[in-house]
Chains A and B, each alone.
Chain A
Amino acid sequence: MSFDLSLITESIPKMLAGIGITFQLMFLSAVLGLILAVILLLMRISGKWYLSWPAQVHIYIFRGTPILVQIFIIYYGLPQFEFIRDSVFWPILREPFGCAVLALTLNTGAYVSEILRGGVLGVDRGVLEAGSALGLSARQKFIYLTTPIATRLALPAYSNDFISLMKATSLASTITLLDMTGIARTIVAQTFAPYEVFISLAIIYMILTWIIQKSFGRIEKYLSRYVNP
């Protein structure tokens, strides 16, 4: 057993060829997941049981099961049904990429919705009362007071979830997608050099984590300018 340096220099560019897929999975799911999270949040705080219940069930299921199960149910499970194969969604659900994005979106949407809810609950009640006393409607309070304040409160937790999402994109390799992890696994299968390949890849992911942390740190600093000016 020896550490093969040339193997590292060879495999890193090969793995980086998959970074596009990793990024696509990450950003698509992040955007769609955020939209889903906001919808779930609005459903939860709507005060109407027929809206808040389905949202809570979604959150409960997607936070209570492993994301790998969710990916497998969507990719391997759904085609069991003919009506799915006949539906307009089939072109998406047939592809591992579409399934991965769908699973990651549903999953991160559930987590982020809880994070956002924490932010909303963290908004000082007195500030909202001041809004009411000035005659702002419920909708105006939500848009002009709750949303900006809750965003700042939720951001640290959101950045952690974003990192989790980035790491979860690697699971797309389990449904044949050749993202960075998928490529690494094929290289290891050929060379049987797990240390060189997987450690190099781990370092790439750590750099991505670091970049995400720094970027969110920037945003956080900007949004907190009124807290520590």
Chain B
Amino acid sequence: MTNPTSDALIQMINVDKFFGEFQALTNINLEVKRGEKIVICGPSGSGKSTLIRCINRLEEHSAGRIIIDGKELTDQVKDIDAVRREVGMVFQSFNLFPHMTIVKNLMLAQQLVRKIPKAEAHKTAMHFLERVKIPEQANKYPVQLSGGQQQRVAIARALCMKPEIILFDEPTSALDPEMINEVLEVMTDLAKEGMTMICVTHEMGFARSVADRVIFMDAGEIVEEAEPEIFFNSPKSARTKAFLSQILTH
């Protein structure tokens, strides 16, 4: 079977995901074009994390096809490594390497995966630390940084790999309110520069200003998919309305 012709960077076709008996994703169809920004929202347990984790194969999908930049995710290890190099990921809990300084956090994968020489990796690391506005923290350990700073480091770490796309899994929901904006600012800058992004978040202000499309998920399904204007002003599904009214009154 040949890949369906498409200019999409990411294609998910009829994707199902089971955890044992439990179906976490049902018939997911999603296309993301180069440069597009997608925001995914939905209640807790609706399968948002599972969906984006299938894209870089932290979870294996059970049925359907996932094609990243023309490469299909199969059991072949080589493909997966190639795909992971193109796909950056930022986690809710930062997941910095606790035993390495900030700059080493940014250098490790460059050196090991991209085989970049140490000096150049260091230069790249410092470049992106400046982009996220914390070059002065380079030689500290993650615990010495605030949550907002750690998350910016995590974004810089993903950027160092020069990915085609970055996946964000609730990047601000573990942060104290006063730190949310510094992270969202960095993400907005990235979006302006044309980075392809899929972002699970409940920051509706961010969704309105940055997203090309907003996707609402519930019970493992994509319920609604629309431009932010339409999504927020005239949602079609009753489930979306109910969810939005809950989120927006908060």
Contacts and interface: CB of A to CB of B under 8 A. Distances in A.
When A and B assemble into the complex, do they touch directly, with CB atoms less than 8 Å apart?
A: yes
Interface of A: 124, 126-127, 129-137, 140, 144-145, 148-149, 152, 225-229
Contacts of A145: 97
Interface residues of B, number: 29
Contacts of A136: 108-109, 112-113
Contacts of A227: 98, 143
B84 A127 contact: no
A134 B161 contact: yes
Contacts of B144: 229
B109 A148 contact: no
Interface in B197-241: none
B48 interface: no
Interface stretch (B61-69, B87-95, B121-129): B87-95
Nearest to B112: A140
Interface of B: 56, 58, 81, 84-85, 87-89, 91, 93, 95-100, 108-109, 112-113, 140-144, 154, 157-158, 161
A152 B112 CA distance: 23
Given A129-B58, A134-B161, A149 B81 contact: no
Contacts of A137: 81
B19 to A, nearest CB: 15
A4 to B, nearest CB: 54
Please indicate which of the listed interface residues A124, A131, A133, A145 has the most CB atoms of chain B within 10 Å of its own CB. A133
Given A129-B91, A130-B91, A226 B56 contact: no
Contacts of B87: 133
A135 B109 contact: yes
B8 to A, nearest CB: 21
A135 B141 CA distance: 22
B84 A135 contact: yes
A140 B108 CA distance: 10
Contacts of A130: 89, 91, 95-97, 154, 157
18 contacts: A124-B95, A124-B98, A126-B95, A127-B97, A130-B95, A132-B56, A133-B87, A134-B108, A134-B158, A135-B85, A135-B109, A226-B100, A226-B142, A226-B143, A227-B98, A227-B143, A228-B143, A229-B141
Contacts of B88: 133-134
Which of A129, A134, A140, A225 counts the most chain B CB atoms within 10 A? A134
Contact of B161 (A135, A149, A228, A229): A135
Nearest to A141: B112
A134 B161 CA distance: 8
B84 A148 contact: no
